[in-house]
A = this chain, B = another copy of it.
Amino acid sequence: MTVSCMSHLECSKCGKTYDPDQVNQLCACGAPLLVKYDTKRLAAVKKDILFNRPPSLWRYKEFLPVKKDESIVTLGEGMTPIIPLEKIGARLGMRNLYMKDEGIIPTGTFKCRGAAVGVSRAKELGIKTLVMPTAGNAGAAWAMYSARAGMKAYIVMPEDAPPITRNECAVSGAALYFVRGIISDATKIVVRAVEKYGWFDASTLKEPYRIEGKKTMALEIAEQFNWEVPDVIIYPTGGGVGIIGIYKCLCELQEIGWIERKMPRLVSVQAAGCAPIIKAWEEGKSESERWKNPVTVALGLKIPKPLGDFLILDAIYKTNGCAVAIEDEEILGAQANLAAEEGVFACPEGASTLAAAVRLFKQGWIQADEKVVLLNTGTGLKYPETVKVEAPSLDPNEDLPV
């Protein structure tokens, strides 16, 4: 018996089960597969054994699908800090405002969690070559972890993906390709490559393990708040694996009694220029429609129709959450406020969560005393073009003005 308590894979739509020791992609019905665990075994795990392990996401290995320690491909990812936003909170009147800062992690974004667990499990299953479309950051993370695992990675990204993510792919030795188009055009190229060459498809939700990496954000939030989960978690939603993973994990933790039955309300934030989930939620639908002409500075949110839209919407509905669209101007304003007031240089996607919190608080949807966690999904270092620098140049003999 391995440490992992994984039992089987199960289709998120039709419920069909699959053997996790085989290479699996989507269910025959076309929907994503989810990892299921033996909850009796999970419930028997001793918390203090976990908490004496090093502060990476691998401390939760019972809750993860990787069976053998030697399969683990790690760069020390996880246990990102929870940062109190006291100054912004005081200005707004919110008394318990926090940010979980996923910028403080290898490759600088939360994508590394999915890559760490996804690549580890791919290695365990004997995969040699993977291929994926990406808005930029996921490709960079999978390229780096694939390099560490000795796996070949083909990465296809739109020409307008964040420039630094190109550098990461290039320096890792991945096979990098640009597409003249958006991410759905990159997907078309990947789908054909998978058919033609038989490579492993590491696209969002087309393999079952990335979500397991992302879900560790919920385990960490629960542990960091001493197993009293926050009232609200606000999440920027592109492909939505983060919010799906968080919800999945909170359900697992409830089932084994590690957290109480009260669920945090999950809020999905998207950019006003690409808001398929917000539109579907406002219309009370269970799936989204493809967004036409997506435009936003928050490039990670430029996903016109997430494959897991029905799972995202389900998480929002089941937790009495909501969905909020934010204009680019507000996103950049929130980014500036986070840096100037709290010293956090967030990516635009992450900054959008502050703008959403402000709006929901003003609307009375969030109360002054509620514990609210913003998820900053990555570091602003990867988006230098979102900041304007205007500074004078001096000669060595010139003085600073007051």
Decide yes or no whether A1 CB sits under 8 A from chain B.
Answer: no
- On whether A167 and B384 interact (CB within 8 A), knowing A75-B344, A147-B340, A150-B87, the answer reads yes
Chain B residue contacts of A108, Cβ below 8 A = 108, 379, 381
- Give the A interface residue count (CB, 8 A): 87
- Decide: A180 and B387 in contact? CB cutoff 8 A: no
Give the complex CA separation of A392 and B399 in angstroms.
49
Give the complex CA separation of A335 and B108 in angstroms.
17
- Decide: B101 and A104 in contact? CB cutoff 8 A: no
Which residues, 321 to 354 on A, are CB-close (under 8 Å) to B?
335-336, 339-345
Decide yes or no whether A159 CB sits under 8 A from chain B.
Answer: yes
Tell me the dominant secondary structure on chain A's binding face.
Answer: mixed
Contact mask A158-199 → B, CB, 8 Å, 1/0?
010001101111111101111111000100111011001100
Stretch at the interface among A78-86, A271-279, A288-296: A78-86
Chain B residue contacts of A364, Cβ below 8 A = none
- Decide: A392 and B196 in contact? CB cutoff 8 A: no
- On whether A170 and B387 interact (CB within 8 A), knowing A144-B343, A147-B340, A197-B402, the answer reads yes
Decide yes or no whether A148 CB sits under 8 A from chain B.
Answer: yes
Give the complex CA separation of A188 and B101 in angstroms.
37
- On whether A55 and B76 interact (CB within 8 A), knowing A189-B400, A384-B163, A394-B177, the answer reads no
Q: Which of B77, B172, B339, B345 contacts A339 (CB 8 A)?
A: B172
Closest-CB distance, A89 to chain B (whole angstroms): 13
Contact mask A379-402 → B, CB, 8 Å, 1/0?
111101001111111111111101
How many copies of this chain are found per oligomer?
2
Closest-CB distance, A175 to chain B (whole angstroms): 8
Closest-CB distance, A389 to chain B (whole angstroms): 4
Chain B residue contacts of A181, Cβ below 8 A = 395-396
- Decide: B389 and A170 in contact? CB cutoff 8 A: yes
- Decide: B81 and A341 in contact? CB cutoff 8 A: no
Give the complex CA separation of A188 and B189 in angstroms.
56
Decide yes or no whether A131 CB sits under 8 A from chain B.
Answer: yes
Q: Which of B150, B340, B400 contacts A193 (CB 8 A)?
A: B400
- Decide: A400 and B164 in contact? CB cutoff 8 A: no
Give the complex CA separation of A291 and B79 in angstroms.
42
Most buried by B among A81, A179, A387: A81
Closest-CB distance, A41 to chain B (whole angstroms): 27
- Decide: B382 and A381 in contact? CB cutoff 8 A: yes
Closest-CB distance, A254 to chain B (whole angstroms): 25
Decide yes or no whether A156 CB sits under 8 A from chain B.
Answer: yes
- Decide: A395 and B166 in contact? CB cutoff 8 A: no
- Decide: B171 and A339 in contact? CB cutoff 8 A: yes
Give the complex CA separation of A394 and B73 in angstroms.
31
Residues of A within 8 A of B (CB): 54-56, 73-77, 79-83, 87, 101, 103-108, 131, 144-150, 154, 156, 159, 163-164, 166-173, 175-181, 185, 188-190, 192-193, 196-197, 224, 335-336, 339-345, 379-382, 384, 387-400, 402
Q: List 29 A-B contacts (CB under 8 A).
A: A56-B81, A73-B343, A74-B83, A75-B343, A76-B83, A87-B148, A87-B150, A104-B106, A107-B345, A108-B379, A108-B381, A144-B343, A144-B345, A146-B343, A166-B389, A166-B391, A168-B345, A171-B335, A171-B380, A172-B340, A172-B343, A172-B345, A177-B400, A179-B393, A179-B395, A189-B399, A189-B400, A193-B399, A197-B402
